[in-house]
């Protein structure tokens, strides 16, 4: 029996020729990741192991992205703990303020995550890196602390679900809409502890930004990981960044899947996830009159330059609605600079948006855009749980950059097509 791409990567990292779903393994790791929320706990647990060195100074990444710039004394202390740990143990991949970016965009862009890698991160959206053909998944801080010492961790090999996307994408439909539609179809536990393997001619033609978006939200369906087999598009992205050797894997034609789900993309229109779960999706035409107070464009889900270009395309020559706050945060410093050089930031500021330094702050209701009681936001982020972006009586609607930008102008959730003839 053949192996899936996920099974092949896990087998290679536990020293076996093949593994089976349900099997417990111990796998060597190519990279372990922590941020300013999770790393301090992991550092404490690392100390409890009695270790006097990290397993590999170059295979640990510490990314203080959630509350940077520090929003208060506690967040400043959190980053100080990371900074001192990195200096003490010679961790090379500590990203200081001014050089930091949102972790799940920063690490692949810096060439630190590569095809065939096994990666864990103390952040649930570590599954993002499956877009380049890596096995990557989120873990708790205790697991991270142990992994910083041992360079390995245990897994139960997941079953795999193959999602086959075919047909032709409609106008304004991209990776965010595909994954929201998928989660809406299977539910937030529809892929519980499964590998979500995205395939089909639509995926083969998706740019990397959309692939990262889809894998990023695998966890929102309960997935252990999301993954896309590397192809020419992947290799063009990777070869320009790779700092180490890597190996490309692909699923065998006779690999066994728990389920195969076919999705006709020609029937999908832009999607909106209603509160308070990502599975509460509706096509844009069925949204109705949802008035908003805030629109947020960015995050590890949709903060890439391609996302900002789409937002600028919609906003150019237009003004944000007087009752709406539009916040845009590029995912990394390099993306921020590119947006400046391309004139995108001019478009955003002229439209009346606030452009932020890279941070996870708005996404988790930490800072830089918290919602007050009764307020509604449309956001390109990945979660809309109760209180996710602020007050527990606020509401978050998930959508693509195109819909979020159009909604900021309209003052309600709507389509870019509604803006035709209204400037721009």
**H-assigned helices in 49-168:** 73-89, 103-109, 141-150
List of residues 6+ apart from 235 with CB closer than 8 A:
248
**H-assigned helices in 171-298:** 175-186, 201-204, 208-216, 232-239
Element (H, E) at 401: helix 401-410
DSSP code at position 156: E
Alpha carbon distance 12, 4 (integer Å): 12
Residue 255, preceding bond cis, omega within 30 degrees?
Answer: no
Give one DSSP letter per residue of 296-314, joined into a string.
EEEHHHH-SHHHHHHHHHH
Residue 69, preceding bond cis, omega within 30 degrees?
Answer: yes
DSSP code at position 370: P
Q: Quick one: pLDDT at residue 287?
A: 96
Domains of the chain: 5-263 (3.30.499.10), 271-419 (3.30.499.10)
Query: pTM for this one?
Result: 0.95
Q: Quick one: pLDDT at residue 237?
A: 97
Q: Quick one: pLDDT at residue 207?
A: 97
Orientation angle between helical segments 141-150 and 39-48, nearest 10 degrees? 50
Orientation angle between helical segments 305-315 and 344-351, nearest 10 degrees? 50
How do beta strands 152-156 and 159-166 pair? unpaired
Question: Coil, helix or strand for 103?
Answer: helix
Q: Quick one: pLDDT at residue 366?
A: 84
CA atoms within 13 A of residue 346's CA, in its CB half-sphere: 6
For residue 149, give the nearest of 254, 44, 9, 20 by alpha carbon: 44
Alpha carbon distance 359, 24 (integer Å): 36
Could you list the pLDDT tens digit for every one of the 424 residues in the chain? 899 999 999 999 999 999 999 999 999 999 999 999 999 999 999 998 889 999 999 999 999 989 888 889 999 999 999 999 999 999 999 999 899 999 999 999 999 999 999 999 999 999 999 999 999 999 999 999 999 999 999 999 999 999 999 999 999 999 999 999 999 999 999 999 999 999 999 999 999 999 999 999 999 999 999 999 999 999 999 999 998 999 999 999 999 999 999 999 999 999 999 999 999 999 999 999 999 999 999 999 999 999 999 999 999 999 999 999 999 999 999 999 999 999 999 999 999 999 999 998 888 888 889 999 999 999 999 999 888 989 999 999 999 999 999 999 999 999 999 998 665 4
Q: Write out the two tokens for 303.
A: 């903060």
Alpha carbon distance 179, 297 (integer Å): 17
Q: Quick one: pLDDT at residue 423?
A: 53
DSSP code at position 284: G
Q: Quick one: pLDDT at residue 243?
A: 85
Polymer length in residues for the chain: 424
How do beta strands 118-121 and 135-138 pair? parallel
Alpha carbon distance 171, 136 (integer Å): 31
List of residues 6+ apart from 393 with CB closer than 8 A:
373, 374
List of residues 6+ apart from 414 with CB closer than 8 A:
284, 287, 403, 406, 407
Alpha carbon distance 243, 107 (integer Å): 11
List of residues 6+ apart from 272 with CB closer than 8 A:
180, 281, 282, 283, 284, 287, 378, 397, 398, 399, 403, 413
Q: Quick one: pLDDT at residue 364?
A: 83
């Amino acid at each position: 029996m053949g192996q899936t791409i996920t099974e092949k990567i896990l087998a290679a990292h536990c020293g076996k020729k093949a593994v089976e779903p349900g099997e417990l393994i111990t796998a060597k790791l190519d990279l372990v990741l922590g941020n300013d929320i999770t790393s301090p706990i992991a550092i404490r647990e690392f100390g409890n192991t009695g270790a006097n060195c990290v397993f590999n100074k170059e295979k640990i990444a510490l990314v203080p992205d959630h509350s940077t710039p520090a929003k208060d004394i506690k967040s400043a202390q959190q980053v100080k703990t990371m900074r001192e740990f990195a200096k003490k143990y010679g961790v090379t991949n500590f990203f200081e303020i001014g050089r930091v970016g949102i972790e799940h965009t920063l690490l692949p862009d810096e060439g630190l995550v590569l095809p065939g890698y096994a990666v864990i991160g103390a952040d649930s959206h570590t599954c993002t890196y499956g877009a380049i053909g890596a096995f990557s998944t989120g873990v708790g801080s205790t697991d991270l602390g142990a992994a910083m010492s041992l360079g390995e961790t245990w897994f139960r090999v997941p079953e795999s679900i193959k999602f086959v996307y075919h047909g032709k994408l409609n106008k304004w439909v991209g990776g965010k809409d595909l994954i929201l539609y998928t989660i809406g179809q299977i539910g937030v536990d529809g892929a519980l502890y499964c590998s979500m393997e995205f395939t089909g001619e639509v995926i083969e033609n998706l740019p990397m930004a959309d692939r990262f978006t889809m894998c990023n939200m695998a966890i929102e369906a309960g997935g252990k990981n999301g993954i896309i087999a590397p192809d020419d598009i992947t290799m063009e992205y990777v070869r320009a960044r790779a700092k180490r050797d890597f190996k490309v894997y692909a699923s065998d034609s006779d690999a066994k899947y728990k389920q195969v789900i076919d999705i006709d993309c020609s029937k999908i229109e832009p999607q909106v996830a209603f509160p308070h779960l990502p599975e509460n999706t509706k096509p844009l035409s069925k949204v109705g009159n949802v008035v908003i107070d805030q629109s947020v464009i960015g995050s590890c889900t949709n903060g890439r330059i391609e996302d900002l270009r789409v937002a600028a395309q919609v906003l150019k020559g237009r003004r944000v609605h007087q009752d709406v706050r539009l916040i845009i945060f590029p995912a990394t410093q390099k993306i921020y600079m590119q947006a400046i050089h391309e004139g995108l930031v001019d478009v955003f500021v002229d439209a009346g948006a606030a452009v932020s330094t890279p941070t996870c702050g708005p996404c988790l209701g930490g800072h830089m855009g918290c919602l007050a009681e009764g307020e509604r936001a449309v956001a390109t982020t990945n979660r809309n749980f109760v209180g996710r972006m602020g007050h527990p009586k606020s509401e978050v609607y998930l959508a693509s950059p195109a819909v979020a930008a159009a909604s900021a102008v309209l003052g309600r959730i709507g389509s870019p097509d509604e803006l035709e003839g209204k400037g721009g």
